[in-house]
Amino acid sequence: MKRIVGVLGIALAIGLSGQADAQTLKTVRDRGALICGVSQGLPGFSNPDDKGTWTGLDVDFCRAIAAAIFNDPTKVKFTPLSSKDRFEPLKSSEVDLLSRNTTWTSSRDALFNFAGVIYFDGQGFMVRKALKVNSALELNGASICTQTGTTTELNLGDYFRSNNMKYEVIAFGSADETIKAYESGRCDAFTTDMSQLYSERLKLSNANDHVILPEVISKEPLGPLVRQGDDQWFDVVKWTLFAMLNAEELGVSSKTLDDALKSKQPEIRRMLGVDGTYGEQLGLTRDWVVRIVRHVGNYGEVFERNVGASSKLGISRGINRLWTKGGIQYAPPIR
Amino acid sequence: MSATFVREQLVAPMEQPRSNVGTPAWLQQKLFGSVLNTVVTIISAVIFAALVWPAIRFMLIDAVWDGSSRVDCLAETVGRPVGACWPFIAAKFAQFMYGFYPAEEVWRINLTYAIGIVLLAPLLIPPVPYKVLNAILFFGVFPVVAFYLLIGGVFGLPHVETRVWGGLLVTLVITFAGIIGALPIGIVLALGRRSSLLLVRWFCVIFIEFWRGVPLITVLFFATYMLPFFLPEAWKLDPLARVLIGVILFAGAYMAEVVRGGLQAIPRGQYEAARALGLGYWKMMAFVVLPQALKLVIPGMVNSFIALFKDTTLVLIVAIFDLLGQLRASFADPNWATPVTLLTGFAFAGMIYFAISFAISRYALYVERRLSTGVAH
């Protein structure tokens, strides 16, 4: 019985996923709030603070979209989703977008639309110093703790196979269990995205006894994604990210915004809607970028606040710097 | 005559042998009565000490009581091994209790609890009169009042979406709704399964077997993410309501089997006697069979209720944060990321779950003893 229902459900899910609501922007406006799928708790990306307010890079991106649509970053409702069950709610229109540190891959893009890359991540390893391992290539025969239902597990297999090394995977349901298992000696190494290695290291009782190995074994471009079949909404989400990047590139931050509005630079005038109607073309308002930057900030501000040097995680910008500063973050121009 | 010896006063009773009275005797008899007893006692004591002492150390002696961020709970800062990080619990306490419920509206939850306790307490204490009225108030009126008080949108109370409900509030709401909903459904299904009407019996059998055959996690997942595909937009139910319906049907099926066990234990003579007195089916069930059957299955019912109480943690997979979900979310706060955060959080949640489960089971034991005075089955 269970199997029949399951098969039926999957068949229907596949059959119906194509005809998702094609007017998300209108739905969001009518509802008066954006519904955003976020992680159930990922330090620096989405986690509730002491007052119960969601904070983090992924969360701030949702707030930026709300700011662009409503001129009010608080008009977002967060639906915290686990890594296993993150796609069904997006498919069934329970959420308007997924901003949940999801790696952009071809198979996922075949089912959804990725709006860009908010954080270029990569998978790394953490080991005990006492193990005297200096490179991931020395991990032959190691047992490795990881989290189930993520691309991490697959990358691990690829890396060890292509280097002809043996390994043993011990997989857990949540990040907390994984790091505790590693700490208690269940496995020799702990693997996950680099950004998380830093935050998980905060939870170890002698953080200095553990090292993060230099190898980055995979590309993990993390980005927000939406349903297929709604180009307007796709554009809104995509250009919210581009607007945050462009604002940083042009030196417009929440602090310099008022001066920037008086700027003579044509690029800044176009971006802030002083000249032209670029926001209206996207289905938003003329001052959409002003709203985003005023309420949430540009990409650099959001990065620093949540995961960068001024946060507990202290992750350096690395390849997430703008292309003008040696990184690979690049946004098409607003014009 | 005077030579006859007749005792005029009773001999003063002698004291019990010393080896028979007081704590030492009890210890001697119960714990060290034989070689085997002694060995078992010593082993138990060692295990007990090995488990309890570290727990006390962790939770009290080594614990940190004051602080405002992770730094205060790090061994480097404190300068000694650190046990539980209680400031973490203090900082997140409101979230553990109420979820993301707006702080200025929290009084509504507290008021709901207060009404619940005021109605429940006299119901649980046997000598207090007006039990029927009290039961109607608690099982009939209270859920409605609680519903409007928590959701709002009437009498000038701002509307609070179930999306922001969380923590212990959600755990209790689901458990309470599950218990209140499951009991009547369970009784009806159990009666239906023993009915002589073929159609009714088959319906009940299929219903019970279906819900017992499917794991709760599947039910929740299906109700939350699959139903929206089938149902038209206008029928969209609130996510928490969908979960509640799933839990009630699921718990109802289990309850049905528990009640059926009780029905089967009632001797045939009881049914026949009720019939002979001229009682119809419903009267027979209501006045003769069910009161005896339900009394028999109190342990089974309580077992189901406690299991239900703890099963509520499964709602985390459908993006509803119960106590445990809220706990896990707060583990992700980098402001409190320390080696002991996880252990502290689970110790706290464990104490809450234990306190509630233990209270339910002790009360059930008390009721059971009271009801079975003078009755031997």
Looking at residues B199-211, what average pLDDT do you find? 90
Looking at A7-21, B21-35, B121-135, which range is the least confident one? A7-21
Q: Please give the Cα distance from B246 to B205 (Å, whole number).
A: 18
pLDDT reported for residue B2: 61
In a domain, A185, yes or no: yes
Contacts of B109 (CB under 8 A, 6+ apart): B97, B98, B101, B150, B169
Residues of chain B neighbouring A89 (CB-CB closer than 8 A): 225, 319
| Same domain flag for A81 and A225 | yes
Model confidence at A20, pLDDT cuts 50, 70, 90, reads very low
What is the DSSP track for B310-350? Answer: HHGGGGGGGT--BHHHHHHHHHT-GGG--TTHHHHHHHHHH
Q: Which residues of B touch A311 (CB under 8 A)?
A: 334
Does any domain span residue A289?
yes
> Which of B73, B225, B326, B346 to mutate against chain A (most A CBs within 10 Å)?
B225
Longest CA–CA separation in chain A, Å: 69
Please tell me whether residues A228 and A284 are part of one structural domain. Answer: yes
Instruction: Report residue A309's pLDDT band, with 50, 70 and 90 as the boundaries.
Output: confident
Residues of B engaging A, defined by a Cβ cutoff of 8 Å? 70, 75, 91-92, 94-95, 99-100, 103, 161, 163, 210, 213-214, 218, 221-222, 224-226, 228-230, 239, 316-319, 321, 325, 328-335, 337-342
Q: Which of A264-273, B120-129, B228-237, B294-303 has the lowest mean pLDDT?
A: B228-237
When mean pLDDT is compared across A127-141, A159-173, B12-26, the lowest value belongs to B12-26
Q: Is A33 helix (H, G, I), strand (E, B) or coil?
A: coil
Q: What is the mean pLDDT of residues A251-276?
A: 93
Rounded mean pLDDT of A24-50?
A: 92
pLDDT, tens digit (0-9, with 9 covering 90-100), for A264-303: 999 999 999 999 889 999 999 999 999 999 999 999 999 9
pLDDT given for residue B1 in this prediction: 53
Residue B16 scores a pLDDT above 80: no
Report, as an integer, the average pLDDT of A188-209.
Answer: 86
pLDDT tens digits for range A64-98: 999 999 999 999 999 888 877 889 889 988 899 99
- Among the partner-chain residues B316, B317, B342, the one whose CB lies closest to the CB of A180 is B342
Tokens describing residue A276: 């032209």
Name the closest residue on chain A to residue B167, using Cα atoms: A52
For A13, the closest of B229, B335, B342 (CB atoms) is B229
**Cβ-Cβ contacts under 8 Å, B321 against chain A:** 80
Please give the tally of structural domains in chain A.
2
d(CA A203, CA B82): 13
Chain A CB contacts of B225 under 8 Å are 85, 88-89, 92, 94
Asked if B100 lies within 8 A of A5 by C-beta distance, the reply is: no
A240 and A181 within one domain: no
Locate all alpha helices (DSSP H) within chain A, ordered by sequence. Answer: 2-17, 24-31, 57-70, 87-91, 106-109, 151-162, 175-183, 194-201, 231-249, 257-260, 266-271, 278-281, 288-295, 299-306
Residues A20, A108, single domain; the answer is: yes
Under 8 Å between Cβ of A93 and A79: no
Q: Mind telling me how many Å the CA of A84 is from chain B's nearest CA?
A: 9
Q: Which of B103, B210, B329 sits opposite A41 (nearest CB)?
A: B329
- Domain shared by A31 and A175, yes or no: no
Residue with more model confidence, B71 or B352: B352
For A36, the domain range is: 2-120+221-325
- The residue of chain A with its CA nearest to that of B226 is A9
User: Do the beta carbons of residue B95 and residue B166 sit within 8 Å?
Assistant: yes
Whether residue A290 lies inside any domain: the answer is yes
Q: Does A82 touch chain B (CB under 8 A)?
A: yes
Residue A16 is predicted with a pLDDT of 45
A112 and A235 co-located in one domain: yes
* Interface check A121 vs B, CB under 8 A: no
Domain boundary among A201, A218, A235: A218
pLDDT of residue A18: 42
The dihedral formed by the CA atoms of B224, A49, B107 and B158, expressed in degrees to the nearest 10: -60
Contact flag B338-A203 (C-beta cutoff 8 Å): yes
Chain B residue with minimal CA distance to A42? B332
Is residue A334 situated within a structural domain?
A: no
Comparing CB atoms, the residue among B163, B329, B337 nearest residue A48 is: B329
Same domain membership, residue A238 and residue A200: no
Give the residue from A159, A192, A218 where a domain finishes: A218
pLDDT band at B131 (very low <50, low <70, confident <90, very high): confident
Distance CA A320, CA A305 (A): 14
- Whether residues A25 and A66 fall in one domain: yes
Beta-carbon separation of A40 and B316 below 8 A: yes
Cβ contacts below 8 Å, chain A against chain B, sum to 118
Q: Which of residues 176-235 of A touch B (CB under 8 A)?
A: 176, 180, 183, 199, 202-205
In a domain, A68, yes or no: yes
More confident residue, B369 or B3: B369
What dihedral do alpha carbons A82, A88, A94, A97 form, nearest 10°? 80
Contacts of B229 in chain A (CB under 8 A): 9, 12-13, 16, 92
Domain presence at residue A275: yes
Pairing of strands A34-39, A76-81: parallel
**Is A168 found in the same domain as A154?**
yes
pLDDT for residue A37: 94
Question: Is A311 in the B-facing interface, judged by CB distances under 8 Å?
Answer: yes
What pLDDT score does A19 carry? 44
Taking CA atoms, B16 is separated from A89, A207, B10, B22, B272, in Å, by: 75, 65, 17, 10, 55
Q: Do A176 and B226 touch (CB under 8 A)?
A: no
Q: How far is A2 from chain B (nearest CA, A)?
A: 6
**pLDDT exceeds cutoff 50 at A14:** no
Report pLDDT digits (tens) over B103-113.
888 888 999 89
* Residue A263 pLDDT grade (very low, low, confident, very high; cuts 50, 70, 90): very high
CA-to-CA distance for B176 and B112, rounded, in angstroms?
A: 13
CA–CA separation, A198 vs A45, rounded Å?
13
Higher-confidence residue of B367 and A290: namely: A290
pLDDT-wise least confident of A237-246, B169-178, B222-231, B351-360: B222-231
CB < 8 Å from B in window 33-62 of A: 39-44, 46-52
Q: Which residues of B touch A202 (CB under 8 A)?
A: 70, 334, 337-338
Report the CATH number at residue A142: 3.40.190.10
- Position B361 scores a pLDDT of 84
Q: Which residue of B has its CA nearest to A2?
A: B214
Chosen for mutation from A4, A204, A205, A315 (greatest number of chain B CBs closer than 10 Å) is A205
Backbone angles phi, psi at A144, to 5 degrees: -130, 130
The predicted pLDDT at position A153 comes to 86
Residue A324 burial (10 A CB sphere; 0-12, 13-18, 19+) = exposed
Minimal Cα–Cα distance from B364 to chain A, Å? 35
* Entry pTM: 0.80
Same-domain status, A140 and A72: no
- Give the DSSP H/E element, type plus range, for residue B184: helix B167-193
B337/A203 touch (CB, cutoff 8 Å), yes or no: yes
Q: What is the pLDDT of residue B74?
A: 85
Residues of chain A positioned with their CB less than 8 A from the CB of B329: 40-41, 47-48, 80
Residue A29 domain flag = yes
Answer with the one of A199, A218, A237 that is the final residue of a domain. Answer: A218
Q: Which of A88, A233, A82 is nearest to B229 (CA)?
A: A88
Nearest-Cα distance to chain B for A240, in Å, is 26
Q: Which of A35, A203, A206, A209 best probes binding to B when mutated, by most B CB atoms within 10 angstroms?
A: A203
Reported ipTM: the value is 0.76
Asked if the Cβ–Cβ distance from A52 to B99 is below 8 Å, we say yes
| Averaged pLDDT, A293-315 | 92
**Interface-testing mutation among A45, A47, A178, with chain B (most B C-beta atoms within 10 A):** A47
Q: Is residue A331 part of a domain?
A: no
B289 SS3 class? helix
Identify whether residues A228 and A318 lie together within a single domain: yes
Contacts of B226 in chain A (CB under 8 A): 9, 12-13, 88, 92
Q: Which member of B95, B321, B328 has the closest CB to residue A174? A: B328
Residues A94, A131 within the same domain: no
Highest mean pLDDT among A15-24, A295-304, B186-195, B324-333: A295-304
Determine contact, residues B208/B258, Cβ cutoff 8 Å.
no
Instruction: Name every chain A residue with its beta carbon within 8 A of the beta carbon of B103.
Output: 51-52
